[in-house]
Amino acid sequence: MDERSVDPATEAFVAHRNLLFTVAYEMLGSATDAEDVLQETWLRWVGVDLGTVRDERAYLVRIVTRQALDRLRTLGRRKESYVGPWLPEPLLTTPDVAEDVELADSVSMAMLVVLETLAPVERAVFVLREVFDLEYDEIAQAVEKSPAAVRQIAYRARAHVAARRPRGAVSPAESRAALQAFQRAVETGNLQSLLDILAPDVVALSDGGGVKHALLRPVVGADKVARLLASLWYQRDVARSVEPAEVNGAPGLVVRVNGELDGVVALRVENGRIAGLYHVRNPEKLSRVARETPVSR
């Protein structure tokens, strides 16, 4: 298509698409729902008189936020009937995402799990303020609250997240080293090697969506998690393999059983050890494992 034939509305939407997807994904924890929100945003955007729009980025973020809030409330009802623990939908991300520490932290599985504990408007305000650095006036328009109310919501959300978020930033190199040690330990089945790379209070979570076997509750502690991993890895008549990948801005593993995709493991690293394991096996959440998904802020 001749670039000169692209209309201004399409050009603006395409220019900000990765940003809009990231906003929706961080609010929803679901790439599938984020794509649906982008489609709804586009349908509303093409009906806007661009002559009245002073800031296209802010206007588009406002639309996508409102659509994501509507979808988030629907998701909340769906999660109430979800079979087993619910984890965010993992993304394969480009290597450069890990270099942007704030972006990588915001899309990490660990952070998305924390954001699940916020109310919908709190989550929207936190994402727009802390991740995308929008002004309170802009956020107020997006969530249809007063700027004063948004400041209070932001304060509460920050305190809530701070009490639950992972402690301290981890460099990409430190994360890769921990992943490599973990992968070697899992592949060799060496229990002591697993104990060495797992933090004493490591937490393992898994999501099978009622379709694949998964933990019904978190498993806590290096000894329990190490023995669980060892028992799962060496099942009879099962050829299990893992390959490293960038998962939600950090090193992770793609798991295959008898050559078929079986799941994705995202890791949370603290002080050089694995402090969190997030294992997604629900087939409906693995569509983004075949290709990298661009995210931006």
pLDDT of amino acid 4:
55
Count of C-beta atoms within a 10 Å radius of residue 240: 15
Least Cα distance to 26 among 72, 58, 86 occurs for: 72
pLDDT of amino acid 182:
94
Residues 24 and 12: their CA atoms lie apart, in Å, by 17
Residue 213 burial (10 A CB sphere; 0-12, 13-18, 19+) = exposed
The predicted model scores a pTM of 0.92
Helices (H) and strands (E) in the chain, counts: 12, 6
Three-state DSSP class for residue 95: coil
pLDDT of amino acid 1:
43
Least Cα distance to 251 among 265, 233, 270 occurs for: 265
**pLDDT per residue rounded down to tens, the chain (297 residues):** 445 567 899 999 999 999 999 999 999 999 999 999 999 999 999 999 888 989 999 999 999 999 999 999 888 888 888 888 899 999 999 988 988 888 999 999 999 999 999 999 999 999 999 999 999 999 999 999 999 999 999 999 999 999 888 766 778 888 889 999 999 998 887 889 999 999 999 999 999 999 998 988 999 999 999 998 888 776 666 778 889 999 999 889 999 998 899 999 999 999 999 999 999 999 999 998 989 999 998
pLDDT of amino acid 235:
65
